[in-house]
Amino acid sequence: MKTEKLKTEIQIFICNHKRDHDECCADKGAKELTDKLKKWAKEEHKGEIKVYRSGCLGKCSEGIAIACYPEKKLLLEVEPEDYKEIKQGLKEAL
Ligand code: FES
């Protein structure tokens, strides 16, 4: 096994899980939000903020769910329209 220190200061994991017969983040616009945040982070904060598409975070009825590190914070009931507010929060956390 090999370990390496992560260079990224902030990592967020956005649930994109799809459930066929139940409430899920995918049905609430998670892909749209993830794509926009990934593009923004790559263009404006490469090496500082990394955005990942994740599987279920166990908060399906309260999605879209986003796990934020190193803050150890879970954002719930996020909507794609919250994009600007999330960007602002991430910038302030740097
Ligand atoms: S489907 Fe997103 S938290 Fe479960």
The domains located in the chain, with CATH, are: 10-93 (3.40.30.10)
CB 60 within 8 A of CB 21: no
Distance 8 CA to ligand 1 centre (A): 25
- Tens of pLDDT, residues 43-82: 999 989 999 999 999 999 999 999 999 999 999 999 999 9
Q: Which atom of ligand 1 lies nearest, measured to the CA of 24?
A: 1
Q: Whose CA is nearest to atom 4 of ligand 1?
A: 60
Q: Is the pLDDT of residue 94 over 90?
A: no
Q: How far apart are CA 28 and CA 62, in angstroms?
A: 10
Question: What letters, b where the CB count within 10 A reaches 16 and e where it falls short, cover 35-60?
Answer: ebbbebbeeebeeebbbeebebbebb
Distance 82 CA to ligand 1 centre (A): 17
What's this model's pTM, rounded to 2 decimal places? Answer: 0.94
Count other C-beta atoms under 10 Å from residue 24's C-beta.
Answer: 20
